[in-house]
């Protein structure tokens, strides 16, 4: 790591000789594998942008030239080159290095959201601000993956960037043919054609007279093409891409050829106005286990053996696997069930359905908004679409859920993976907003399964509902131990625990009673808390509503029969199940005291799920302490 150890700022990088750069690239790849193997993280994407990141920091002057990484999971090399290599032992750990760009970490990081397709809009706004400030010397650079360009927000931004002919915006299209999985759609096919059929060959075959008709104009362009063919000059050949936008295009450039990368970026740096640079890279480049991972090219890994790439711990079957299995079964029984993914068939569990029913599976790209309205169209056509996305990405499609699905009372089922606190991926990946968001959609039904059995039950119930949208939400990780219902009320609420104080101690019949409403997988912690607080002479009832929105009427009746109601959920406190239950009790003029155990209204720093829960009083001991405190205030010690 001799050369890498000498790099603490981009200025150090610029001082290197050309012959040192190849060595540095290999050192960075070795460093990435070693560090990510120890902590987990996004390995494949970062192995693919080593040369590109080196070129960016040699040509541009960060942070004066802002470099914005779309999604920013591919910013590890950027972090290394801007002085954070020594922090990688803490990658994605509590109080450690974020797995995404982070404004608190470095002046070189301009954004920190991990949602895709937003970088170009940031770049458009930043370039406008620079222009208004009289800065015409610097550029704004946006690095977007080809998968991000399947999102509509990118095209809205490009439309505005192209209009700013006097604003220096450099759009780097990192074309590796993949997001999580192979990129789909018309644009991806266009890039593939460019990638597979180098444009200089086509032009040389067609001849100079056809340049204008192909969008390539000028004698200098033809001379540059000829020089490239002879191996005399740079590989950078400017042309036009998307004549409707009128943006200059450079590429395709071999994203692993340091000289070609630097030449292309120098041209873009000196160009006056917006420009697109098309870089062709390989995800997982240089690490055999990643290159052989045909499904995801080690897009994201857990802790693993750096030599073999094998995980060091074997995960038990989780929520996603159960959903995948059950939806595939449902698909075999009902031909009207359609599955939709937003570029994440594997991570959301739809790959199995796609393999069994390819004609009823649609990957719409990183376009959650389109996914919801396309699903609405399928529902209008008599189908029952199931849209599987991460909970955090539902935020992007709320308008479509509210106005395109909900307003028309369409039977669309939305399955939200990674709901609640997810942890190490940080603030924008936590799925804590879905209950608050969905609760304001009139007529929607939201289910929160507590275990494998209820997940299978609720999914079947959801696809059987034909008069409005349904949502199934479940967390990340392994399945909890199944919790059997002691009784099921007429509206589907499960009684899962009842402890009579008389059975626990010599308490009189007048012992206070507490109703605990457990949302989803919080059932297990609710039952443990119930055992603890019952020991102090309290009657405790624990229920799982299963369908948490709208509030079941049996919960209102139960609340009226108890002295305290406590809701335990893993969503934000405002607008969640606790808030809805309180509203329902107010409407029924029931004044039973109620308290909420929920996620505070704040962005959560990255840490493990258990650490985040403990930090915000959502773990077992803290929940017990909270309920004991409430009971002391209400009933006396």
| 134 contacts: CB under 8 Å, gap ≥ 6 | none
- Best CA proximity match to 108, nearest among 171, 60, 62, 49: 62
Q: In this predicted structure, what is the pLDDT of residue 316?
A: 73
Per-residue pLDDT, averaged over 484-492, amounts to: 95
At 385, which helix (H) or strand (E)? strand 384-390
Question: Euclidean distance between the first and final Cα of the chain, in Å?
Answer: 63
Q: Which of 280-284, 388-392, 503-507: highest mean pLDDT? A: 388-392
- Cα separations (Å) of 5 from 19, 39, 136? 17, 21, 35
Q: Which of 149-163, 235-249, 562-576 has the lowest mean pLDDT?
A: 235-249
Q: In this predicted structure, what is the pLDDT of residue 502?
A: 66
Question: Is the per-residue pLDDT at 620 higher than 90?
Answer: yes
Q: Are 476 and 432 in contact (CB under 8 A)?
A: no
| 176 annotated as a binding-site residue | yes
More reliable by pLDDT, 199 or 584? 584
Question: Is the per-residue pLDDT at 370 higher than 80?
Answer: yes
Rounded distance, CA 507 to CA 224, Å? 92
| 115 annotated as a binding-site residue | yes
Q: In this predicted structure, what is the pLDDT of residue 194?
A: 53
Reported as a pLDDT band with limits 50, 70 and 90, residue 545 is very high
Rounded distance, CA 182 to CA 565, Å? 49
| 368 annotated as a binding-site residue | yes
| 40 annotated as a binding-site residue | no
Question: Is the per-residue pLDDT at 236 higher than 60?
Answer: no
- Best CA proximity match to 139, nearest among 271, 277, 276, 250: 271
Give catalytic status of residue 368 as yes or no.
yes
Burial class (CB in 10 A: 0-12, 13-18, 19+), 53: buried
DSSP assignment of 229-265 equals: HHT-S-S--EEEE-TTTTEEEEEEEETT-HHHHHHHH
Q: Are 280 and 175 in contact (CB under 8 A)?
A: yes
Per-residue pLDDT, averaged over 26-45, amounts to: 91
Question: Is the per-residue pLDDT at 206 higher than 80?
Answer: no
pLDDT in tens, 314-333: 777 799 999 999 999 999 99
Percent of residues in the chain assigned helix, strand, coil, to nearest 5: 45, 20, 40
Active-site option among 383, 396, 546, 594? 396
Question: What fold characterizes domain 319-475?
Answer: Rossmann fold (3.40.50)
Rounded distance, CA 458 to CA 534, Å? 31
Per-residue pLDDT, averaged over 35-45, amounts to: 90
Q: Which of 130-144, 189-203, 296-310, 398-412 has the lowest mean pLDDT?
A: 189-203
DSSP assignment of 466-496 equals: -SS-EEEEEESSBPPPP---SEE-TTSPEEE
Give catalytic status of residue 283 as yes or no.
yes
Q: At what angle do helices 319-333 and 452-463 cross, to 10 degrees?
A: 40
Rounded distance, CA 383 to CA 331, Å? 12
| 114 annotated as a binding-site residue | yes
Question: Is the per-residue pLDDT at 144 higher than 70?
Answer: yes
Active-site option among 35, 92, 178, 283? 283
Give catalytic status of residue 602 as yes or no.
no
Question: Is the per-residue pLDDT at 504 higher than 60?
Answer: no
Question: Is the per-residue pLDDT at 134 higher than 70?
Answer: yes
Question: Is the per-residue pLDDT at 576 higher than 70?
Answer: yes
Rounded distance, CA 233 to CA 396, Å? 45
**Taking the domains of the chain in order of start, what are their residue ranges?**
4-291, 319-475, 487-635
* Residue with the two structure tokens 């406008």: 128
The residues that bridge with 171 in the sheet, in sequence order, are: 142, 276
Q: In this predicted structure, what is the pLDDT of residue 90?
A: 94
The residues that bridge with 221 in the sheet, in sequence order, are: none
| 287 annotated as a binding-site residue | yes
Q: At what angle do helices 199-206 and 219-230 cross, to 10 degrees?
A: 110
| 264 annotated as a binding-site residue | no
The sheet carrying 384-390 orders its strands as 361-363, 337-341, 384-390, 413-419, 470-475, 445-447, 547-549
Same fold, 4-291 and 319-475: yes
| 232 contacts: CB under 8 Å, gap ≥ 6 | none
Give the CA dihedral 561, 564, 570, 571, nearest 10 degrees. Answer: 90
Q: Are 534 and 562 in contact (CB under 8 A)?
A: no
Helix (H/G/I), strand (E/B), else coil: 536: coil
Active-site option among 368, 521, 569, 611? 368
Q: In this predicted structure, what is the pLDDT of residue 495?
A: 97
Q: Are 10 and 62 in contact (CB under 8 A)?
A: yes
Token representation of residue 433: 């907003």
Q: What is the mean pLDDT of the chain?
A: 87
Phi and psi at 303, nearest 5°, equal -65, 135
Q: Within its chain, how far is the Cα of 553 from the centroid?
A: 35
* Residue with the two structure tokens 């290159």: 291
| 378 contacts: CB under 8 Å, gap ≥ 6 | 338, 340, 385, 412
Question: Is the per-residue pLDDT at 268 higher than 50?
Answer: yes
Token representation of residue 305: 């053996």
Q: In this predicted structure, what is the pLDDT of residue 182?
A: 54
pLDDT in tens, 374-432: 999 999 999 999 999 999 999 999 999 999 999 999 999 999 999 999 988 888 889 99
Helix (H/G/I), strand (E/B), else coil: 166: coil
Rounded distance, CA 118 to CA 123, Å? 9
| 578 annotated as a binding-site residue | no
Q: Are 197 and 189 in contact (CB under 8 A)?
A: no
More reliable by pLDDT, 148 or 560? 560
- Best CA proximity match to 525, nearest among 486, 568, 494, 484: 568
The total of other beta-carbon atoms located within 10 Å of residue 625's CB is: 14
Question: Domain 487-635 classified CATH 3.40.50.920?
Answer: yes
Question: Domain 4-291 classified CATH 3.40.50.970?
Answer: yes
More reliable by pLDDT, 265 or 424? 265
């Amino acid at each position: 790591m001799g050369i890498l150890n000498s790099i603490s700022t981009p200025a150090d990088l610029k001082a290197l000789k050309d012959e040192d750069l190849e060595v540095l690239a290999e050192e960075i790849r070795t460093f990435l594998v070693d560090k990510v193997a120890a902590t987990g993280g996004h390995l494949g994407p970062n192995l693919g942008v080593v040369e590109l990141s080196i070129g960016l920091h040699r040509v541009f002057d960060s942070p004066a030239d802002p470099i914005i990484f779309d999604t920013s999971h591919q910013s590890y090399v950027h972090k290394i080159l801007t002085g954070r290599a020594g922090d990688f032992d803490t990658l994605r750990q509590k109080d450690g290095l974020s797995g995404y760009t982070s404004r608190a970490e470095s002046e070189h990081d301009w954004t920190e959201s991990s949602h895709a397709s937003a970088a170009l809009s940031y770049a458009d706004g930043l370039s406008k601000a620079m222009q208004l400030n009289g800065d015409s010397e610097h550029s704004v650079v946006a690095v977007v993956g080809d998968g991000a360009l399947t999102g509509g927000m990118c095209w809205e931004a490009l439309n505005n960037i192209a209009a700013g002919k006097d604003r220096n915006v450099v759009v780097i299209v990192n074309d590796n043919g993949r997001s999580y999985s192979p990129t789909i759609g018309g644009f991806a096919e266009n890039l593939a054609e460019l990638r597979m059929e180098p444009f200089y060959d086509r032009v040389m075959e067609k001849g100079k007279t056809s340049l204008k008709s192909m969008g390539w104009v000028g004698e200098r362009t033809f001379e540059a093409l000829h020089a490239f063919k002879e191996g005399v000059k740079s590989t950078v050949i400017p042309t036009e891409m998307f004549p409707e936008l009128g943006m200059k295009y450079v590429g395709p450039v071999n994203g692993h050829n340091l000289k070609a990368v630097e030449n292309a970026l120098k041209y873009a740096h000196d160009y006056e106005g917006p420009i697109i640079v098309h870089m062709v890279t390989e995800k997982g480049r240089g690490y055999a286990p990643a290159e052989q991972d045909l499904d995801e090219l080690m897009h994201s890994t857990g802790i693993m053996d750096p030599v073999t790439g094998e995980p060091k711990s074997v995960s038990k079957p989780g929520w996603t696997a159960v959903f995948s299995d059950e939806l595939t079964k449902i698909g075999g029984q009902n031909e009207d069930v359609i599955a939709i993914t937003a570029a994440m068939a594997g991570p959301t569990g739809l790959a199995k359905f796609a393999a069994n029913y390819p004609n009823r599976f649609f990957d719409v790209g990183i376009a959650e908004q389109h996914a919801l309205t396309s699903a609405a169209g399928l529902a209008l056509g008599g189908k029952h679409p199931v849209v599987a996305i991460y909970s955090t990405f539902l935020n992007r499609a709320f308008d479509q859920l509210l106005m395109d699905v909900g307003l028309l009372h369409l039977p669309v089922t939305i399955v939200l993976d990674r709901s609640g606190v997810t942890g190490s991926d940080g603030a924008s990946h936590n799925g804590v907003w879905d209950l608050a968001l969905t609760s304001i959609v009139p007529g929607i039904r939201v289910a929160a399964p507590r275990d494998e059995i209820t997940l299978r039950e609720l999914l079947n119930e959801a696809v059987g509902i034909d008069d409005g949208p349904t949502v199934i939400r479940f967390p990340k990780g392994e399945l909890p131990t199944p919790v059997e219902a002691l009784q099921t009320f007429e509206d589907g609420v499960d009684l899962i625990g009842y402890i009579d104080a008389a059975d626990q101690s010599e308490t009189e019949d007048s012992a206070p009673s507490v109703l605990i409403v457990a949302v989803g997988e919080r059932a297990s912690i609710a039952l443990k808390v119930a055992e603890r607080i019952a020991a102090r002479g309290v009657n405790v009832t624990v229920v799982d509503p299963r369908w948490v929105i709208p509030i079941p009427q049996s919960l209102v009746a139960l609340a009226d029969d108890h002295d305290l109601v406590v809701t335990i959920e893993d969503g934000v406190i405002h607008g969640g199940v606790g808030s809805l239950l309180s509203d329902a009790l107010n409407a029924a003029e029931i004044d039973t005291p109620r308290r909420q155990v929920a996620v505070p209204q704040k962005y959560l720093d990255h840490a493990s799920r258990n650490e985040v829960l403990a930090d915000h009083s959502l773990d077992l001991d803290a929940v017990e302490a909270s309920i004991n405190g409430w009971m002391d205030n209400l009933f006396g010690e």
